[in-house]
Structure 1
Amino acid sequence: MSDAIADAKRAMRADLRERRQTISEPAREAAADGIRTQLDALVDRLGATSLSCFLSTTTEPGTREFVNAAIDRGLRVLLPITRADGLLDWTVAERDGSEIEGLFGMPEPTGELLGPIAVNDVDLMIIPAAAVDTTGMRLGWGRGYFDKTIGSMERCPPVYAVIFDDELVPEVPRDLHDQPVAGVVTPTRIVDLHPDQS
């Protein structure tokens, strides 16, 4: 990655992180409700019976209500667990399951470890993002876990990134390893961006 691209990504992430920290608690709760509604609609539209998601942090659009609701509906939900080698292990989500602090201070589930290829069986991937642009390029948080996972899958299912409404932007800095997403889910809508993936 060139220094200019790396610097642009760092600056954009810092700005987005700062903006997320100023969101009020009532706005966060409303966003979590909206995310659950939109993700439920996406699952229904795609007919997904097995999916991967992530446990949101306090500054991300909330996914926990959705994960619990998906489990209640009988869906199989895989949650990621970071590894030191840059790959993701997975575990099957349990309703209100226990959590530990992962490698980078992020919440991660406890449970039986399934290897990196476990995600190959899902119908839908729901992943975090800092921002996504209108071509479907995603700006992650800089560790490359999801880009590696998506890039290594033989048959990648539709991948949707969860962001706040104002984080769908005209353009994000991109590098060769960056992977596009099929669309985004915000608290108010689902936007399809990359038709060949959805």
Structure 2
Amino acid sequence: MTKAQVRSELLARRRAMTPAERAGAAEAIALHVLAVPVVARARRIACYLSMSTEPGTGATIAGLHERGIEVVVPVSLPGGVLDWVVHDPAAALSVSALGIPEPDGPRLGQDTPHGCDVVLLPALAVDHSGHRLGRGAGYYDRALEAVTTPLCAVVFTHELLPEVPHEPHDVPVQMAVTPAGLFRVP
């Protein structure tokens, strides 16, 4: 299957999930993320603000804040690059041209993930080798190309697959978290 075919199938399956299924998945994912030792020791974590059909990150971000961990979130810029902003739970959000919730605030710079202890990033699927299938725009591949910080994709359980189509420029992850638990890439 091509990347486009896999994306289409996975997006359709996400749209078919009920709000209750998504909410339960978000809670389970948060419990798993917060139990990871590297997260427990973290001072700063990069995470995304989830869109409606993605695995929810709200509970995870709230749990990180409760532990005093600084959370930075991406803001898309022209040219397909990401900048980062410190997440303030009380700050207003706007929706980007890509349909992604983004906060306003001082920009931290494109190299911000280098100073994070973990990066939690979105994916449509992850395979057993750590290949991540995103939405196809390449924002995260460009942003994380030289990052040595542990990368953890957040996916629904059915999105952890034996293999996903990938290309040499696709940045692999070291972990994937699902409602069923944490998967570490060997």
Question: Share of identical aligned residues, percent?
Answer: 35
Asked if 1:111 corresponds to 2:105, the answer is yes
The one-letter code matched in structure 1 to 2:175 is G
1:160 aligns with 2:159: no
Instruction: Tell me the distance in 2 between the aligned counterparts of 1:192 and 1:133.
Output: 11
Residue in 2 that maps onto 1:3 = none
2:23 aligned with 1:29, yes or no? yes
Q: Which moved more, 1:46-55 or 1:139-148?
A: 46-55
Q: CA deviation at 1:180?
A: 0.7
In the superposition, the TM-score normalised over structure 1's length comes to 0.89
Question: Distance in 1 between the 2:169 and 2:41 partners?
Answer: 30
| TM-score for both structures, normalised by structure 2 | 0.95
Work out the number of aligned pairs and report it: 186
Q: CA RMSD in A?
A: 1.5
Q: How far, CA to CA, are the matches of 1:45 and 1:53 in structure 2? A: 12
How big is the shift at 1:56? 0.7
Q: CA deviation at 1:68?
A: 1.8
Q: Does 2:67 correspond to 1:73?
A: yes
Q: In the aligned structure 1, how far is the partner of 2:180 from the partner of 2:6?
A: 23
Q: Is the 8 A contact 1:68 1:96 kept in 2?
A: no
Deviations along 1:29-67, one digit per CA (max 9) or x if unpaired, are 111110110111125566222110000111011101111
Residues 1:169 and 2:161 are matched in the alignment: yes
The question of whether the paired residues in 1 share the 8 Å contact of 2:39 and 2:117 is answered with: no
Partner of 2:91: 97
Residues 1-198 of structure 1 correspond to what in structure 2 (within 5 A)?
A: 8-42=2-36, 47-153=41-147, 156-194=148-186
Shift in Å, 1:118: 1.9
Unaligned stretches of 5+ residues in structure 1: 1-6
Any idea what SS the aligned residue of 2:153 has? Answer: strand
Q: Is the 8 A contact 1:84 1:103 kept in 2?
A: no
1:45, 1:116 → 2: CA distance? 22
Range with greater deviation from structure 2 (46-55 or 9-18): 46-55
Deviating runs (4+, > 6 A) in structure 1?
none
Give 3-state SS (helix, strand or coil) of 2:111's partner.
Answer: helix
Alpha-carbon distance, 1:150 to partner: 1.5
Q: What is the distance in 2 between the residues matched to 1:55 and 1:42?
A: 20
* Rounded Cα–Cα distance in structure 2 between residues aligned with 1:172 and 1:148: 19
SS in 1 for 2:180: coil
Unpaired runs of at least 5, structure 2: none
